[in-house]
Amino acid sequence: MIRKIARRRPMSSLDGGGLPPLLQRIYENRNVRARSELDYSLKRLQPPEQLKGCDAAAALLQKALESNWKILVIGDYDADGATGTALALLALRAFGAEHVAYQVPNRFEDGYGLSPKIAEAVLARAPNLVITVDNGISSMDGVARLRAAGVAVIVTDHHLAGARLPEADAIVNPNQPGCEFPSKALSGAGVIFYLLLALRARLRTENWFARAGRDAPNLAEYLDLVAVGTVADLVPLDANNRILVAQGISRIRAGRCRPGIRALLEIAGRNCAQADSRALGFLVAPRINAAGRLDDISTGIECLLAEDAAGAHEYARALHAMNRERRGIEQTMQRQAMKTIAELERGGESRDGFCLFERGWHQGVVGLVASRVRERFERPAVAFAPGEDGKLRGSARSVDGLHIRDLLEAISARAPGLVEKFGGHAMAAGLTIAPENFDAFARHFHELAAAHFAEHAPCDEILTDGPLAEEDFTLDNAELMRSASPWGQHFPPPLFDGHFRVTAQRVVGEHHLKMQLTLPDGARALEAIAFGQAEPGREAAKQGTVQAAYELQVNEYRGARTLQLLVKHMQPADARAGG
């Protein structure tokens, strides 16, 4: 697909105060208005007082600690849910909770969140208090069942609330109605972290720690978990989330992290000192997620809970093997998806959105297929697989400007009963439909996507920070780009563009292009890699001149550190923008 490479325009004016000019330009392109926004010290975190429900939840947790209640954490089966669940258990134990355990739904058997089925399993364990992590805001029936049985419930979640809220004892969610917390982009792990901050503040005020004869826990010790959960869930890295992630990465780089995070980095070929948001997002998170996608997320949670290196590495090896299996399944599904799309295009189908289903697809991997289709075509995509109960489980991904959960809600309003369950946020959502309703759902999905793009022209642009001068292609600048992180959603890593001559190329790892690029007016050769560019159907570079959008990257191999261009998009230099 040929896309237009366009350059970002400065969104702010920043008094750089000694910042390297290149870095100042990058920050201005991301609307950084003051140097204080780049201060990632914990003192600049938004306080928890404005987070609606925190006081009530903290009071209930205090009662649970004082009464030695049995506490059960209900997590989610992704990396955000796993890190948040591990954080809740570790911190509550540090607070003095003696009976705290977790239960996470199995994706294939139980469905999502605190469902009535999970509620019955919870009651069999006879807890006094249930805390949801990264779920619960749509669990009306499950919460009602627990409350009717006398179990107290705290819901912590970050997903968008529907028209009704569960009747829990307390709800902590920055996206619930009436919550004035300024950072709406907290991850599930971020929300439970904030509740723990509120609990510690409450107990300090009441001199509880001195009376209990224990030290107040240092919650900053758990920011490695918050950083992984935040990056993994692709929530926007606003100023508050950048603090959480930067602090977590700082601790990982210093070696002050959970043995499980260290083990996952090491099994992926990295050490803690090399950690950055890319390593968390592309190395640590996929291995945790693989457990929830293929089997049971408990393997990922136990890896994060492990207290010694040997135990952590055992779990990390299991997660690594699951991730290899997941990649093989995903590649097969992607090829099938691209074949289906090609057939739809030959039949004249609209490209405003893609609705895909294959009977042999894996329920745990459809979200990745939807993501790849969205990335490839810059259009919303929904991929379905059959569930254990015969229903179709779908995972949807969207593009900037099209709120995917709102689109699903619009379909539900148009055709009541067509979508049996749905939930999520602006960029990602999950849903359940009956098999016989797939065609009707696809029709509504395409119609609403087309209507949206008729009013809001789709953006087929790749936005970059502009070109680099030949003297800017240095290892020092690549190091600078990495040290200036965290980069992520809505605060993207620096991306540059330019024209190059391709003087050599070869396929590595079956799907990637390793290249040598030369600036058109210079003799200097630059090493480059383009991940995924050698996939079937993907346009590969030809010997000649290309236009490329790229990041500066530090390539570390056998102890040597060299400059490498990470090519994110490439097309013939004379290509015109188009679809």
Q: What is the pLDDT of residues 45-89, one digit of tens each?
A: 999 999 999 999 999 999 999 999 999 999 999 999 999 999 999
With contact defined as beta carbons under 8 Å apart, do 133 and 103 qualify?
no
- Alpha-carbon distance 426 to 443, whole Å? 21
Contacts of 530 (CB under 8 A, 6+ apart): 512, 513, 515, 541, 567, 568, 570
Cβ contact 534:510 at 8 Å: yes
Is pLDDT above 80 for 554?
yes
At residue 11, does pLDDT exceed 90? no
Q: Is the bond preceding 116 in cis, omega lying within 30 degrees of 0?
A: no
Average pLDDT over residues 118-137: 97
DSSP character at residue 5: E
Q: How far apart are CA 9 and CA 1, in angstroms?
A: 24
Give the whole-angstrom CA distance, residue 223 versus residue 41: 12
* Average pLDDT over all residues of the chain: 92
Q: Residue 561: what are its φ and ψ, rounded to 5°?
A: -115, 120
Q: Rounded mean pLDDT of 516-543?
A: 74
CA dihedral of residues 216, 220, 224, 228 (deg, nearest 10): 100
Amino acid identity, position 65: L
List domains and CATH numbers for the chain.
44-321 (3.90.1640.30), 350-455 (3.10.310.30), 462-572 (2.40.50.460)
Cα distances (Å, whole numbers) of residue 382 to 61, 142, 239, 370, 481: 39, 27, 31, 6, 34
Strand 4-7 and strand 461-464: the pairing is parallel
Q: What does residue 156 show for φ and ψ, rounded to 5 degrees?
A: -120, 125
Token readout for 296 is 């049971």
* Degrees, nearest 5: CA angle 197-200-206: 145
100-103/129-133 β-pairing: unpaired
SS3 511: coil
Residue for token digits 């697989």? 385
Residue 408 pLDDT exceeds 80: yes
Residue 410 pLDDT greater than 90, yes or no: yes
Confidence at residue 485, expressed as pLDDT on a 0 to 100 scale: 81
Whole-angstrom distance, CA of residue 1 vs CA of residue 351: 12
Q: Cβ neighbours of residue 571 under 8 Å, at least 6 residues apart?
A: 2, 3, 539, 546, 547
What's the pLDDT score for residue 374? Answer: 93
Band of the pLDDT at 542, cuts 50, 70, 90? low
pLDDT above 70 covers a percentage of the chain that reads: 96
Place of tokens 């083990």: 263
Q: What is the pLDDT of residues 29-39, one digit of tens each?
A: 999 999 889 99
pLDDT tier, 578 (very low <50, low <70, confident <90, very high otherwise)? very low
pLDDT at 391 over 70: yes
Query: What's the pLDDT band for 537 if we cut at 50, 70, 90?
Result: very low
Contact status, residue 563 vs residue 476, Cβ threshold 8 Å: no
Residue 535 binned pLDDT confidence (cut-offs 50, 70, 90): low
- The tens digit of pLDDT for each residue in 302-336 reads 999 999 999 999 999 999 999 999 999 999 999 99
Give, rounded to a whole angstrom, the gap between the first and last alpha carbons of the chain.
Answer: 6
Strand-strand pairing, 170-172 and 100-103: unpaired
Q: List the one residue out of 189, 167, 155 whose CA is nearest residue 54.
A: 155
Query: Using an 8 Å Cβ cutoff, are 178 and 65 in contact?
Result: no
Residue 457 has pLDDT above 80, yes or no: no
CB atoms within 10 A of CB 508: 12
What are the E-state strand segments in 417-522? 419-424, 428-433, 461-464, 496-508, 512-518
Residues 544-553 have pLDDT tens digits of 789 999 999 9
Q: What is the mean pLDDT of residues 217-241?
A: 96
pLDDT above 80 for 460:
no
Structure tokens at 79: 């990396």
What integer pLDDT is reported at residue 509 of this predicted model?
A: 77
Question: What's residue 108's pLDDT?
Answer: 84
Instruction: Provide the CA 49 distance to its chain's centre, in angstroms.
Output: 26
Strand-pair category, 461-464 with 428-433 = unpaired
What is the token pair recorded at 394?
């779908």
Q: Which helix (H) or strand (E) holds 84?
A: helix 79-95
Helices (H) and strands (E) in the chain, counts: 18, 17
Instruction: Determine whether 476 is exposed, middle or buried from the number of CB atoms within 10 Å of its CB (0-12, 13-18, 19+).
Output: exposed
Angstrom distance (rounded) from CA 378 to CA 2? 11
d(C-alpha 575, C-alpha 462), whole Å: 14
Mean pLDDT, residues 513-521: 89
How many other C-beta atoms lie within 10 A of the C-beta of residue 152?
20
- pTM score, whole prediction: 0.91
Q: Which residues have CB under 8 Å from 20's CB, separation 6+?
A: 480
> Which residues, other chains included, contact 328 with Cβ-Cβ below 8 Å and sequence gap of 6+?
none
Query: Are 373 and 383 in contact, with CB atoms under 8 Å apart?
Result: yes
Are residues 77 and 105 in contact, defined by beta-carbon separation less than 8 angstroms?
yes
pLDDT confidence band for 350 (50 / 70 / 90): low
Q: Residue 383 has what pLDDT?
A: 98
Spatial separation of the C-alpha atoms in residues 294 and 443, rounded to whole Å: 30
5 pLDDT higher than 70? yes
Helix (H, G, I), strand (E, B) or coil at 501: strand
Lowest mean pLDDT among 134-148, 409-423, 453-467: 453-467
